[in-house]
Amino acid sequence: MRIYTVIDGSGWCWETTAREMAKNLPQHDFDVTCDPRVEEAQTCDLIWMRGYPYLFRRIREAGVPFVWSFTSGGDRAGIQFERTQEYISASAGIICQNQEGMELMRKAGMDRLWLIPNGVDTVRFSPAPRFPRRFIVGMAANVNGERWVNKGADVVVAACRAGGFKLRMATKPKPGSDLREPKHNIGLLGHEAMPDFLRGLSVFCQPSTAEGCSNSIMEAMACGLPCIICRESGYHGEVCRDGAAERTGEVLFVPPHDAKAVAESIAWLRDFPQQAARIGENARRFALEHSWGIIARKFNSAFESAVRFVPERKTGIFHLVTAATQDYADCLRAMLPTWMKNSGAATITVASDGPIAGLPAGVDVRAKLAPPANWVAGCMAKAEAVNMLLPEWKDGDRVVFLDADCAVVRNLAPLAEAEEDLTLTRFETDSSRHPRHRGTCAVGAFAVTITPKTRRFLALWLRVQQAYAAAGHGIRPGKIACDQFSMTDIARGRACGVKVRNIDDKVWNSNAEGSDDAWLGAIREHRPAVLHFKGGRWKNRDLVDQALVAAGKYSRDE
């Protein structure tokens, strides 16, 4: 499986997880990036957002199953939940780092959930032979902005000052800002230096109130350090036991924002080194249960389940429609198998002027259109075809129209599930080539949600089509053919109050003019979901095969 792995920059938390998954799951190919692109994602089997999906805002356009990690807890859980709500139902599953995140997602209606905390390299992060001679309190965290308080850094500094404890901090300040508490703070350390930093401490203190699952706490535990944390510290706060109350406890708990309680816990560990050693040994055992090898198996189970996910559809929610005369029979026989295999449509209907044999089983041919007088009239029959079928569709159904000379190379869910009333191919074209029709669409593809206002819109489209035909468009000199072009004209005016979104032509269409090489090059570059075989290219079987291969989803043997 090829997994498109999106991380937020190269910080040690998210990048470490991605790197460890690649190392521990060699059966998969992890394509790791912090600059996600739709066309790259479409070459993969699964998208994994090691972080929040809004960092890849076009993720749904890729048409590839995606999972993402909800990595917040405590004070920031509600904030991140609000930011990610729109992606919940579209995802193939969500990886939560704690029970708090699981409950938020369940309340939002998501049931494809996995609880997977961060792991740790228990070889690199291992205990020092002995505690340092001098008692040293340590902390390591990203303290940008409000995180100075969320991570409990202010409380740790206050506690160490009050108790006279030596403090050593490794924190990441806001870019361009001065280092806070420079007397104690050595600044940002690279991840490779963290094991030595931790092994030089006596106790690790991070009373955070905003964690999903803290890497730094897990790494400190792997080094056998007694850790002072809050119940609000995400995964560790939920599952660890208090070492002051239980013999097998792995941490010491303190109330949030309580410098006095932190100072008392530090003093207790200093004054009772045997108790500190016991809690540190328990912490090490806890970390061994969360080694990357164990955590990777949990991720693998989630990936294997997610890649098989197909969004549930009610019968008839996604209708795929085309209009084609009998002259297009060979084209339909060549293209419709890709629609059947890849589109995800509940029904596929062909409106034509007569019966068409040899189409895949399940394709419904409606031979009710009048034979067109010419090619232009045939193009304009699209509005007639859609309006002919309109009474059969229920309000709320989604209808996708594609030209007959298109191949579908991946699931059209992002197009079919868009929230807008009408989703169209791009408005803008080269005005120098179409001076009379600047802003018309480039290729036949649109989707519409059936509502009373879109029913009125589609009826209006038919009347406008008929007016264009009466005016001689496509026949008289100076006029051009207008099929979806007329729809674009009235959509631009938001006729009937419809809400319109443009389809990115680099995703849905690859309609480069010129040579076959240029056309295939555009497909390779943009990795579209729909290949448009303009100019009769569909008649060349070898060229069709090359285009499917260029789209990145097929081998030539298929």
Same domain, 510 and 532: yes
Q: Which residues contact 189 (CB under 8 A, 6 or more apart)?
A: 140, 170, 197
Supply the pLDDT for residue 315.
40
Beta pairing, strands 136-142 & 113-115? unpaired
Q: Count how many residues are written for the chain.
A: 558
Same domain, 428 and 475: yes
Supply the pLDDT for residue 348.
93
Beta pairing, strands 500-502 & 422-424? parallel
pTM over 0.85: no
Same domain, 68 and 186: no
Predicted confidence (pLDDT) at residue 504 exceeds the cutoff of 90:
no
Q: Categorize the per-residue pLDDT at 310 as very low, low, confident or very high, splitting at 50, 70 and 90.
A: low
What the block records as the tokens of 283 is 């912490």
User: What is the CB-side half-sphere exposure of residue 517 using CA atoms within 13 A?
Assistant: 0
Q: Domain ends where: 307, 334, 349?
A: 307
Same domain, 399 and 531: yes
Same domain, 234 and 148: yes
Supply the pLDDT for residue 519.
84
Q: How many C-beta atoms surround the C-beta of residue 431 within 10 A?
A: 12
Q: Which residues contact 484 (CB under 8 A, 6 or more apart)?
A: 382, 424, 425, 440, 441, 444, 446
Phi-psi region at 239: left, alpha or beta (left = phi > 0; alpha = psi -120 to 50): alpha
Q: How many domains does the chain have?
A: 3
Q: Which residue has the tokens 């008839």?
A: 316
Nearest to 284 by CA among 125, 407, 151, 485: 125
Q: Which residues contact 191 (CB under 8 A, 6 or more apart)?
A: 12, 16
> How far apart are alpha carbons 548 and 524 in whole angstroms?
10
Mean pLDDT of the chain, nearest integer: 84
Same domain, 20 and 142: no
Same domain, 303 and 337: no
- Rounded to an integer, the average pLDDT of 202-211 is 93
Nearest to 209 by CA among 249, 132, 258, 151: 151
Residue 79, CA distances (Å) to 89, 127, 284, 453 in order: 18, 36, 33, 36
Dihedral (Cα; 39, 44, 50, 55), 10-degree rounding:
10
Q: Domain ends where: 307, 340, 359?
A: 307
What the block records as the tokens of 418 is 């868009």
What the block records as the tokens of 94 is 């969500």
Enumerate the β-bridge partners of residue 279: none
- DSSP secondary structure code for residue 425 in this structure: S
> How far apart are alpha carbons 375 and 381 in whole angstroms?
10
Same domain, 282 and 297: no
The domain that holds 66 is classified in CATH as 3.40.50.2000
The domain that holds 543 is classified in CATH as 3.90.550.10
Supply the pLDDT for residue 401.
92
- The answer to whether 233 and 212 are in contact (CB under 8 A) is no
Q: Categorize the per-residue pLDDT at 293 as very low, low, confident or very high, splitting at 50, 70 and 90.
A: very high
Q: Which long-range contacts (CB under 8 A, 24 or more apart) does 75-79 make?
A: 75/150, 75/209, 75/210, 75/232, 76/150, 76/210, 77/101, 77/104, 77/210
> How far apart are alpha carbons 492 and 501 in whole angstroms?
10
Q: Categorize the per-residue pLDDT at 527 as very low, low, confident or very high, splitting at 50, 70 and 90.
A: confident
Same domain, 428 and 466: yes
Residue type (1 letter), 378: G
Same domain, 331 and 283: no
> How far apart are alpha carbons 45 and 389 in whole angstroms?
35
Q: Categorize the per-residue pLDDT at 343 as very low, low, confident or very high, splitting at 50, 70 and 90.
A: confident
- DSSP secondary structure code for residue 120 in this structure: B
Residue 113, CA distances (Å) to 8, 94, 298, 350 in order: 22, 5, 12, 39
Digit-coded pLDDT (tens) for 459-497: 998 888 888 777 776 566 555 556 666 777 777 677 788
Enumerate the β-bridge partners of residue 136: 166
Same domain, 465 and 357: yes
- DSSP secondary structure code for residue 419 in this structure: S
Supply the pLDDT for residue 297.
96
Supply the pLDDT for residue 395.
83
Domain that residue 100 falls in: 2-119+293-307
